């Protein structure tokens, strides 16, 4: 199987659930409560159940990972990632209010990885369409990232490069 050089993940509704809303709609301060983060309003933030094992698989296969998240509260997103103890999993992150096209241009500049060597997972079809136009293999995540969706994305990427 031909593997991507860089896998890029969106955050909200792709890697995590923030109590049914986006992370920039939460209410800090955040605190750990068992395996979840809770905001001031009692909303829970947690990774979807397959996400950590997907990170492990990327590590095992030595595939670099990055984040591309459009949020009005980038510091909140970064704090949540720190509390979940996963910042070390990502070689690059583009977390700020902007177009995914700008996120990917920045990733291209900082990594040197060609767009056609990237794989992207996101829950918004407009982002999938925009980023796919760059040549990035882009996978729609309908209800949180699962291992099945991830494996299908790897297969789609590999077939594109066969």
pLDDT band at 117 (very low <50, low <70, confident <90, very high): very high
List, for residues 71-83, the tens digit of each pLDDT value. Answer: 999 999 999 999 9
> Can you list the positions of beta strands (E) in the chain?
6-9, 16-18, 31-33, 36-38, 44-47, 64-69, 92-95, 118-122, 137-140
50 labelled catalytic: no
Q: Which of 10, 17, 39, 123 is catalytic?
A: 10
- Helices 147-160, 51-60: inter-axial angle, 10-degree rounding: 40
Contact (Cβ atoms closer than 8 angstroms) between residue 9 and residue 145: yes
User: Residue 106 — pLDDT band, cuts 50, 70, 90?
Assistant: very high
10 is an active site residue: yes
Q: Could you state, in order of their start, the residue ranges of all structural domains in the chain?
A: 6-16+48-160
Fold classification of 6-16+48-160 is Rossmann fold (3.40.50)
The pLDDT tens digits of the residues spanning 26-45 come to: 999 999 988 789 999 999 99
């Amino acid at each position: 199987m031909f593997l991507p050089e860089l896998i890029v993940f969106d955050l909200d509704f792709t890697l995590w659930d923030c109590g049914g809303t986006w992370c920039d709609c939460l209410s800090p301060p955040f605190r750990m409560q068992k395996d979840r983060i809770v905001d001031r309003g009692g909303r829970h933030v947690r990774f979807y159940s397959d996400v950590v094992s997907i990170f492990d698989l990327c590590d095992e296969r030595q595939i670099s990972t990055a984040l591309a998240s459009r949020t009005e509260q980038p510091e909140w997103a970064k704090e949540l990632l720190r509390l979940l103890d996963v910042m070390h999993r990502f070689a690059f992150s583009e977390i700020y209010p902007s177009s995914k096209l700008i996120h990917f241009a920045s990733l291209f500049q900082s990594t040197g990885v060609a767009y056609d060597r990237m794989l992207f997972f996101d829950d918004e079809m407009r982002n999938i369409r925009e980023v796919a136009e760059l040549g990035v293999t882009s996978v729609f995540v309908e209800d949180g990232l699962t291992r099945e969706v991830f494996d299908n994305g790897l297969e789609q990427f590999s077939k594109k490069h066969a």
